Amino acid sequence: MFGYLRSFLPWISFAVLSTNGQYRYGALAGFLLAAVLLVVDRRAGRPWDAQIIEISSAVFFGGLAMAAFAVTPAPLGAYGPAASVGWLALTAWGSLAIRRPFTLGIAKTMAPPEAHGTRLFQRVNAVVTTVWAVAFTLNAAGLALLLHYAPHATTALLAVKVCGFAVPAVFTARYTQAATRRAGVVAG
């Protein structure tokens, strides 16, 4: 599960550092973390398809940081946190639309090579990516609504941000373990 969460460190740092419309430094931190993850992973030989979220993070946070420091007030206003998760939703849905779920490359680094070409492996990653895409979409919508109607409800905003990552992360861990057990029973 840490393989997936590690990819979201830039987003988690942005979520923590961006409150009440002050996300300039959160965007910069997100960009720097994404860039460091990309460099470290490429030097370690990690394939590009295992870094879809990191690439998407670097693009989004790089653009947002430049805009946020160049324009006052910040370009997305108070909706920066919702827009950032919306970007993740677009990344996840886009990867599904082109039939290359963003979790596929990450899963290939954790699963034995003989599993990579199987229908079960492909299906598990499509399901996991769909769950992340739905979670990101709901998280973005929930944040946008909260930011519009209750922008000072810091506890609620934090809860939505945490749940938006924790729920799909827990699902990913449990679902992949269950699928692995089922595959072992079927293969055994």
pLDDT in tens, 33-89: 999 999 999 999 988 988 898 899 999 999 999 988 888 777 777 788 899 899 999
**Shortest CA distance to 14 belongs to which of 79, 69, 71, 84?**
84
Task: Please check whether residue 150 lies inside any domain of the structure.
Answer: yes
> What would the two tokens of residue 188 be?
């055994």
- Average pLDDT over every residue of 100-125: 91
**Shortest CA distance to 158 belongs to which of 24, 30, 12, 4?**
12
Query: What confidence score (pLDDT) does residue 2 get?
Result: 54
> What would the two tokens of residue 90 be?
């677009």
Task: Please check whether residue 119 lies inside any domain of the structure.
Answer: yes
Residue 188 — very low, low, confident or very high, per pLDDT cuts 50/70/90?
very low
Write out the residue range of the structural domain in which residue 145 sits.
2-182
Query: What confidence score (pLDDT) does residue 129 get?
Result: 97
Which residues make beta-bridge pairs with 19? 22
Query: What confidence score (pLDDT) does residue 187 get?
Result: 42
Task: Please check whether residue 137 lies inside any domain of the structure.
Answer: yes
- 124, 179 Cβ separation under 8 angstroms: yes
13-36: per-residue pLDDT in tens?
887 787 655 678 888 999 999 999
- DSSP calls for 140-188: HHHHHHHHHH-TT-HHHHHHHHHHHHHHHHHHHHHHHHHHHHHHHHHH-
Task: Please check whether residue 125 lies inside any domain of the structure.
Answer: yes
Could you give the number of structural domains in the chain?
1
142-175: per-residue pLDDT in tens?
999 999 999 889 899 889 988 998 999 999 999 9
Q: How many CB atoms lie under 10 A from the CB of residue 70?
A: 9
**Shortest CA distance to 62 belongs to which of 82, 36, 41?**
36
Task: Please check whether residue 17 lies inside any domain of the structure.
Answer: yes
Query: What confidence score (pLDDT) does residue 19 get?
Result: 63
- Average pLDDT over every residue of 81-101: 94
- Average pLDDT over every residue of 95-99: 95
Quote the pTM value: 0.85
Task: Please check whether residue 188 lies inside any domain of the structure.
Answer: no
> What would the two tokens of residue 114 be?
């003989």
Task: Please check whether residue 87 lies inside any domain of the structure.
Answer: yes
Task: Please check whether residue 187 lies inside any domain of the structure.
Answer: no
